[in-house]
Structure 1
Amino acid sequence: MAAGWERAKRAMAARLCVRAPRVRAAAEGEREGEGEGEERGRTVAASPPSRAASRRLSRSGSRSSTRICAICLGGMWSGNGQALFTAECSHKFHFHCISSSVRHGNLVCPICRAVWKELPFQGPLPAADANNGTARVNPLDWPLDDRQQRQQQRMSVARRLSRADSVTRQWQLPVYRSLNGGGVFDDDEQLDLQPENVVQSQDDVDAMVVGSVGITTYTAFPAMEESVAQEEFAILIHLKAPSSPAPATSRRAPVDLVCVLDVSWSMAGTKLALLKRAVGFVIRTLGPSDRLSVVTFSSAARRLFPLKRMTEAGRQRALQKVNSLVADGGTNIADALKKATRVMEDRWERNPVCSIVLLSDGRDTYSVPAPLGGGQTDYSVLVPSSLLPGGAAQHVQVHAFGFGADHDSPAMHSIAEMSGGTFSFIDAAGSIQDAFAQCIGGLLSVVAQELRLSVECDDDGVLLSSLISGGYASHVDGDGRGGFIDVGDLYADEERDFLVTVRVPAARGESALITPSCTYRNTVTMETVSVGGNTATVPRTVDPVSSDMSPEVERELHRLHATEDMAAARAAAERGDFELAISILDERLRALGSRAAALNDDPQCAALVAELAEMQDRVDSRQRYEESGRAYMLAGLSSHSWQRATARGDSTELTSAIHTYQTPFMVDMLQRSQTLQPAEVVMATMSRSSPALVASPSRLAASPPPRRRSVRPTWSFPGRH
């Protein structure tokens, strides 16, 4: 009976469910307990020990504290795979016992009640959270940020591990991390900090990033009459990111990437096979300093593996995990995004660039977005709060890929838009790899982060009227003398155009209008860079001014007008008025056609013509619109909103003139993907693709009049007399 009670006491201290000895009557309990030992096949709660036994246990614990763990009451011996922890008060415990105790908020010695300054626990302490009401305790009170605190804790643990024998050390780390496996993803592979990957000199920096962000301004007209005041004079600010000559090597900013993959039953068969091939391309493209994690979801989400460096061994393990995927269950996008966001938030160490890539071919069957009225829907229920504006993970962009005719394109577009990412539409299964390749080509070439464009007015009386920034957040000061646009990340050689309108008073000589500048973080050196632009000036003259607008400003106005018409056509199609949608797009095609002679050689205007014609073809009926038109238009709106390339349709359109936002590295990665595509995938893609409607100036001139005039406000060119 004594042996049975001893095992029960140890199990109770460890909070385990055990087989305890059955309590008998006083007359026969002792005899039957000794004869039968513990009752087999039945699990019951053990009765508490007697007061005398408690006194004996207390005396025994005080005499043998070096041999008995005061938490689990088990013996402690060095070696044999047991990790021991000796506190600063000289009391010794099993490492896993005291770590679990500290994790639950017990910050004092269980024996002498001494308050510890060095904790035997490297995971995050319980945090203040509105959902569960728990509080984070920081007994060390370090005046450091969270990352520095985590590094200090890891160094303290490393010093303790160095004093242990090799067997104990090999056993201790898995237990250390398993304590957090239930709710915290802190088991990522450590970053590669080898000397060959560290910037050694200024020559290395110059070899990684060529130049800095360039700022150029263009005024709408070359001059202004000195006696005339302009209420809205347009100025174009053009940004050009620096080049990065070697994006595929280690001479670039490394990436932390989480791929969120739909493996529901609808992905079974060829879809899943092509998805595995596409993820395999991503795995082989990432370098040894990049880390990848994969989250899969069907009815529930699970992390396939933590963030792993894509070394040769890491690639092989990742490929094995991905190739073992099977399709089954429903679609739970919200749970998958929560898990992917936790992977990003719980990182101990962080690469400079991070992103989430989400692919799904269906609708979320577990989270129902709330209607907002007027045909609008609130999709924030699908997005973790930390990804929303002002959230902790606001810098983590979600690049969403809607696949096939049955995916929820408005939901996927909203998820990407809320996080600052892009939405892409994949029509054919064979185009998944190409769409991923284009996105990865951008992520592997980020040269600037947290870029803010500032605008300051110069001459007295010059006031800032508006900053037309698309999807980027902008602000105009109350006095109208300045403002800014938060641009965020820039890929190598990426360009941005922002239209600024200012109020210009009558003046003589020359008017100094605005001076742009920007600040950003260099992803290679992690230093903040400030760049000043030249002041935009316009001469004042007494002679009449030519009405010919600057081609740079006119091109941007055409793009903005076309984007507005795309949104108006989509709104009409959502109401079921497909005739009006076609009319709106046709009207914009006519406007571009009237300038065909002047803009014939301009690739951006040619791309707008092709894009509008393709949209017009995809909204000619409800069936066509719901199959591909809605997703195609949303991908186009996402592209123009962020001025960044997105996938639309199939691979033939990825290489067409429509994608003027593609960077050289995107094109290079896309060509690599298409070179590696097997013949059967290419044939499957070509069989699904439909020839794009590319409108020419002659076709526009011969096109019939619109079937219905659109009724909406027009926007005249700012600054035109």
Structure 2
Amino acid sequence: MQTQNYDNMCSICLQPMSAGGDLFITACNHKFHFNCITSSVRARNYECPLCRVKLDALVKLFQGQSQQQQPQSQMLFHGQQYQQPQSQMLFQGQQYQQLQPQMIRQNAYPNHIPVQLLPIPTLAVADVEDLVEEERIRQQAEQLINNCQTVQMPLIDVQTTLEFGAQPTAQQSCIYGMVSLKAPSMPAVDSGDLRRVPLDLVCVIDRSGSMAHKMALVRDTLSYILHELQPTDRLSLISFDDTAQSVSGGLKFANNQRLQEQINSLKDGGGTYIGSGLTMAIDQLRNRQTKNLLSSILLLTDGQDNQPHDYSQLMQGLPQNTTVHTFGYGSDHQASLLSRLAEQGNNGTYTYIDQVDAVGVAFATTLGGLFTCIAQQLEIRLEMQNGYTIEKVQTTYPYTPMQLPCDTVVIRLNDLNADERRDLMFQLNVPIVKEEQNENSSSVGTVTVRYTDPSTKSTLTTPSVPFRLLRHHEIDRLSPLLQTNYALDIQRNRTLTTLALRQALQFTEEGNTERCNAVLQQAITVIEKSVSKQDPLCQQLIQDLRRQYRSKEEFLSANCNVMNQHSNQRGTYSTGYVASTNAYLTPVQQQQQFSNQQYQKHS
């Protein structure tokens, strides 16, 4: 058996380093593809991937420091010494000028991971950014809160549920528990120009050649978004094919007259490189001189990257509380990538758009959520006591500690919109106890929720809510206390469906249709045997798990969307033949959908 020569393999992309290729040798004498190591540094990994020696020379080069600010550093490149030029860079014997502002060049080498050859030059943000009067916005936000308080806007409602109402004292068991959060409705108030919390919105639009027949509708959709924004919102337009371009020249107030002209100027172009547009969007938000209270990125594409790429490191640079919502049109886009970007984008949403005239309503649905954010940086703290421990947390949201079992767990959510709910499932270890616990001493733990009000940035904390479980020496097996809680069982079936779809999607991408079908059928069987099997949501879950699709691509796209909605309990546009996700649409999202339909009729 022939062995692989690992000494001649780039440890970043795990591809061979062929003779004559573009290589970079670090000061610690490790060798990588030039575009791989520069991509790693661009993602703020400032150490050698093999030995963790600082890559000071390369970091300083990419930070764009002037010659006066840094020493005359040298680097080995193809075995020769090249001194850093002042404004140019030697690359395989040729000189590449620095990229124009707001343009990113895509790597053109077919055997390498696509990266940016050079970083976006540092720009004076004030030259392109419409500056927010932050003090004025703060005062308006306070007035908005005062108006909300006149209608007594409540805190987030928190409820606790355990699978059973009681357990025998002499028996150790593991049962399910649930924490349910319900956001209040958004009151209809008006404070001058401010109807809600101001938003910085970046729309990243695929302008590749395949988008040609869709660009007219995309322009209409962007015009609708502009129409729905309030004067205090800011909008940035970025388009991309092989390269990215800032169409608007940065974040502009929604009442900027040029924005509509720039929307009308959007035209299709070349290939597809999602990373170029996404990088520019993240950089724009990270480099803002002033900030609105909320920020989000909307990404629309109908295709796949010309080269495969993992954007995990790039997404780690996303500003705190900024959500990424992705939209995949048609059957040619890579649903798994867009779904993963949304998940990494602070649990944003992925939407599959199956027909061209649904672009507008898809964006409108997401806007309805963005316009009604009532909580950020949520921390749900579960504290068990007297030997009760949390064995497992069944959620895609981050939580600490990861090492279980333990008696205290904190689950973190990025945000919560008006009228939304979250049902967080976990498994609870029930220990043997010596004494009975009656109604007055049945608390086995508590939950509290702490979150930030995006309008005032003040921290709010809900009252502590107990988990109650009665313990008796003997319990009649027919007692209602030993019957599975109906509401919890519904959410357990939802969680099961999410897990089954995630596994089925993975098997489908691997081409293992048999295992995909087996996973889906197993989930159906479990739901059909559950106590809540006749619940409308559970019937819809079964219906969607059984649904047949015309192609592998359609299966992946539609079910990535369904899985994302069930996982986050957040509504997006869904294809007409998906039934189980309709319950997640909030009243404001439904109103926004209707608003878009009316806009399309009169535009």
**Would you say 1:560 and 2:488 are equivalent positions?**
no
**Would you say 1:190 and 2:131 are equivalent positions?**
yes
Alignment match of 2:356 (pick from 407, 429, 432): 429
Change (3 A) 1:207 1:290: farther
Alignment match of 1:348 (pick from 289, 292, 316): 289
In the TM superposition, 1:230-629 aligns within 5 A as: 230=173, 232-246=174-188, 250-269=194-213, 271-305=214-248, 306-311=250-255, 314=256, 316-365=257-306, 367-369=307-309, 379-380=310-311, 385=313, 387-388=315-316, 391=317, 393-420=319-346, 421-458=348-385, 460-475=386-401, 480-507=406-433, 508-510=435-437, 511-541=442-472, 542-545=474-477, 546=479, 547-595=482-530, 598-600=532-534, 602-613=535-546, 616-618=547-549, 624-629=550-555
Using the alignment, how far apart are the partners of 2:136 and 2:319 within structure 1?
A: 28
Using the alignment, how far apart are the partners of 2:170 and 2:278 within structure 1?
A: 59
Alignment match of 1:667 (pick from 586, 590, 593): 590
TM-score w.r.t. length of structure 2:
0.73
Using the alignment, how far apart are the partners of 2:243 and 2:362 within structure 1?
A: 26
Using the alignment, how far apart are the partners of 1:430 and 1:457 within structure 2?
A: 51
Using the alignment, how far apart are the partners of 1:595 and 1:468 within structure 2?
A: 18
Identity among equivalent positions (%) equals 26
Change (3 A) 1:133 1:573: closer
Change (3 A) 1:131 1:522: farther
Change (3 A) 1:629 1:505: same
Using the alignment, how far apart are the partners of 2:427 and 2:580 within structure 1?
A: 30
What is the deviation of 1:405?
A: 1.4
Using the alignment, how far apart are the partners of 1:208 and 1:234 within structure 2?
A: 37
Does the CA-based 8 Å contact 2:141-2:197 persist in structure 1?
Answer: no
Using the alignment, how far apart are the partners of 1:285 and 1:247 within structure 2?
A: 16
SS at match of 2:584: coil
Change (3 A) 1:451 1:182: same
SS at match of 1:535: strand
In the TM superposition, 1:81-230 aligns within 5 A as: 132=62, 183-184=122-123, 185-186=125-126, 187-192=128-133, 194=136, 197-200=140-143, 203-207=146-150, 210-230=153-173
SS at match of 1:292: strand
What is the deviation of 1:675?
A: 3.1
Does the CA-based 8 Å contact 2:163-2:488 persist in structure 1?
Answer: yes
What is the deviation of 1:135?
A: 6.4
What is the deviation of 1:198?
A: 4.2
Using the alignment, how far apart are the partners of 2:400 and 2:526 within structure 1?
A: 29
Alignment match, 1:20: none
Q: Deviations over 1:238-287 (max 9, x none)?
A: 01122212389723211100000011111112x11111111111111111
Query: Unaligned 5+ residue runs, structure 2?
Result: 1-57, 70-119
What letter is aligned with 1:432? V
SS at match of 1:236: strand
What is the deviation of 1:512?
A: 2.2
Does the CA-based 8 Å contact 1:246-1:252 persist in structure 2?
Answer: no
What is the deviation of 1:446?
A: 0.4
SS at match of 2:268: coil
Runs of 4+ in 1 over 6 A off after TM superposition: none
More moved, 279-288 vs 639-648: 639-648
Q: Deviations over 1:575-605 (max 9, x none)?
A: 3343543343344334434458x543x3422
SS at match of 1:212: coil
SS at match of 1:617: coil
Does the CA-based 8 Å contact 1:387-1:396 persist in structure 2?
Answer: no
Does the CA-based 8 Å contact 2:390-2:404 persist in structure 1?
Answer: no
Change (3 A) 1:276 1:207: farther
Q: Deviations over 1:410-439 (max 9, x none)?
A: 222222222222211111011000110010
SS at match of 2:132: coil
What letter is aligned with 2:308? V
RMSD of aligned Cα (Å)? 2.9
Change (3 A) 1:587 1:201: closer
Using the alignment, how far apart are the partners of 2:391 and 2:585 within structure 1?
A: 31
Does the CA-based 8 Å contact 1:457-1:464 persist in structure 2?
Answer: yes
Change (3 A) 1:476 1:418: closer
Using the alignment, how far apart are the partners of 1:280 and 1:346 within structure 2?
A: 26
Name which one, 1 or 2, has greater alpha-carbon Rg: 1
Does the CA-based 8 Å contact 2:444-2:467 persist in structure 1?
Answer: yes
Q: Deviations over 1:520-555 (max 9, x none)?
A: 100122101111332111111222244420012111
What letter is aligned with 1:504? V
Using the alignment, how far apart are the partners of 1:358 and 1:537 within structure 2?
A: 45
Change (3 A) 1:397 1:200: closer
What is the deviation of 1:486?
A: 0.8
SS at match of 1:289: coil
Change (3 A) 1:476 1:332: closer
Does the CA-based 8 Å contact 2:444-2:469 persist in structure 1?
Answer: yes
More moved, 414-423 vs 449-458: 414-423
What is the deviation of 1:488?
A: 1.3
Using the alignment, how far apart are the partners of 1:464 and 1:586 within structure 2?
A: 29
What letter is aligned with 2:452? R
What letter is aligned with 1:387? M
Change (3 A) 1:475 1:243: farther
SS at match of 2:551: helix
What is the deviation of 1:318?
A: 1.4
Using the alignment, how far apart are the partners of 2:225 and 2:562 within structure 1?
A: 24
Does the CA-based 8 Å contact 1:263-1:296 persist in structure 2?
Answer: yes
TM-score w.r.t. length of structure 1:
0.62
Using the alignment, how far apart are the partners of 1:211 and 1:129 within structure 2?
A: 49
Using the alignment, how far apart are the partners of 2:195 and 2:354 within structure 1?
A: 35
SS at match of 1:628: helix
Does the CA-based 8 Å contact 1:466-1:476 persist in structure 2?
Answer: no
SS at match of 1:648: coil
Does the CA-based 8 Å contact 2:282-2:318 persist in structure 1?
Answer: no
SS at match of 2:465: coil
Using the alignment, how far apart are the partners of 1:478 and 1:658 within structure 2?
A: 31
Using the alignment, how far apart are the partners of 2:401 and 2:589 within structure 1?
A: 31
Alignment match, 1:65: none
Using the alignment, how far apart are the partners of 1:437 and 1:402 within structure 2?
A: 15
Does the CA-based 8 Å contact 2:383-2:446 persist in structure 1?
Answer: yes
Using the alignment, how far apart are the partners of 1:517 and 1:431 within structure 2?
A: 40
Using the alignment, how far apart are the partners of 2:413 and 2:61 within structure 1?
A: 33
Change (3 A) 1:570 1:463: same
